Amino acid sequence: MSLVWDSLIDLQNIFIDQFASTGTEVHEAGMERFNQPGWINRVWSCDGYRRAHVDVVDMRESKKVWMMHVCVFPHLNSDAPIYGFDVVAGPNKMTGAFHDFSATTNLEHDMIDHFGKIASRLHWKRERELPPWAKAIFTDHMIAAGMIKEPNEIAQICSTAEETLGYYLENVADYAGYSTVEMGAAAQNYYAYNQKQNPHTPNVMKSLGLNEDDVDLFVQQSLFPEI
């Protein structure tokens, strides 16, 4: 039994249930290639958000590693931020957990301020220095923590992600029309481009035994698709 893995799988199910109850599942062209034993990808869309994606690589038995990526993009005519949550975990600790409401066309958005207030409660978090690509897109409120192994820390990371998801889904639709489609597309493409500069995600996925060509195509085409 692993408290870390059990907690994160519970969180995965919360994400899926929330997206299933608020949106309609979308079967994107080419995504079936990235649904394999140990690798799950699901996408939803609705009037409130353009694209919600849950990506899970479950290599607990063979590699003792479990990882999840969740990203929710607002519609292009919205100035709402992008919801992002990423975690990599072994059986005894989360080696990295990253969470942010990343700005699109409004750097001082009310939703970002609210996220900052929630994130400020995690006084224990051990900050990690961010590379240039990350500093280009993430806010000062970003949760970037490593070596999360204490039960209270594990619980706080998961409860924070659940709380911020509920807030995001309840409020994101209110900001439709606060941006032009052109500005929104440019902002979301800027986010996706910078995310693709992160070498860590594909390197970890390849180290877990996923096909290198599949991973490279996945990152470019389906993990952070540009418009």
Both tokens of residue 46?
């609705």
Q: Write the pLDDT tens digit of every residue in 64-81.
A: 999 999 999 999 999 999
Query: What is the topology classification, in CATH, of domain 3-223?
Result: oxygen-dependent coproporphyrinogen oxidase (3.40.1500)
Specify the pTM. Answer: 0.96
Residue 128 has pLDDT above 90, yes or no: no
* Number of residues in the chain: 227
Q: How far is CA 16 from CA 54, 60, 77, 153, in A?
A: 7, 20, 25, 23
Please give the Cα distance from 116 to 164 (Å, whole number).
10
Residue-wise pLDDT for 74-113, tens only, equals: 999 999 999 999 999 999 999 999 999 999 999 999 999 9
Reply yes or no on whether the pLDDT at 43 is more than 80: yes
Predicted confidence (pLDDT) at residue 127 exceeds the cutoff of 70: no
Domain positions in the chain are 3-223
User: Does the pLDDT value for residue 125 go beyond 60?
Assistant: no
Which structure tokens are listed for 199? 């070498």
Distance of CA 49 to the CA centre of its chain: 14
Q: What is the mean pLDDT of the chain?
A: 95
